[in-house]
Amino acid sequence: MVGIIMLRTKKTNKPKKLSKTRLIFMFLTIFIVSLSIIFALWYPLAPYYGFARYWVSAKLLNLVGFYPHSITFQSHSTQGDFFSFLPFFALMVSTYKRSVTREWKYILTVLSIIVMVETLGTFFELWHGYQKLYFSYIFSIFFLATARVAIPFFAWWISLEKNQIRLF
C-alpha cells in the first residue's frame, strides 16, 4: 500500500518507483500534518477529557473505600492530557491514507484500551495520594508513563504486521 508508490513520467507513461528517502519524507510529512490537524481538533476537548478521567478515577476510589471530598482538576493545566491516542491515529492515517476507514474497529479498540490505561493510571496516582503504598506508585508510573507511550506504537506496529505492510 504505502511502500509501493509509483509516479508516471510524462514522456513514456511508465511507472517510476520512488526512492526510499522520498518515501520516508512523504510518510513523515503526512504524519506531521495529520498530527497537527488532529491536535488542533483535540485541544479544545482536552480539559473535558481530563475532567472525565479524574471523575471516573474518583468513582474507582469510592469502590476501594476512599471518598475524596473534592478532586480538583485544573482545566488550564492540560499538558499531560493530550491523549496518546492522537499520535496513534496520525500514524494510522499516514500509513493507510484513505483506506483508514477499513480499520475503524481496530482503531476504536485501541482507543478503548488507551482510555482505560490512562484512567487506571490516574486512579493509582490518586490512590497513592491517600495511601502511600509503593505498588500504587509503581502502577501509576507504569500506566501514565510507560504504557501510555508504548501501547499506541505497538498497536500501530501490530496493525502493520496483521496487514503485512512494509512501509519502505
Tens of pLDDT, residues 33-67: 999 999 899 888 888 887 888 888 888 888 887 77
* Three-state DSSP state, 65: coil
- C-alpha cell belonging to residue 137: 506508585
User: Which residues, 6+ apart, have CB-to-CB distance to 71 below 8 Å?
Assistant: 54, 55, 57, 58, 126
pLDDT for the residue numbered 16: 66
pLDDT-derived band at 121 (thresholds 50, 70, 90) equals: confident
How does the average pLDDT of the chain come out, rounded?
80
pLDDT for the residue numbered 7: 46
pLDDT for the residue numbered 12: 58
Run of H or E including 109 = helix 104-130
Distance CA 162, CA 80 (A): 31
Question: Does residue 67 come out as left (phi exceeding 0), alpha (psi in the -120 to 50 range) or beta?
Answer: beta
With 0.85 as the threshold, say if the pTM is over it. no
> What single-letter DSSP state applies at residue 144?
I
pLDDT for the residue numbered 118: 85
The average pLDDT across 84-104 equals 87
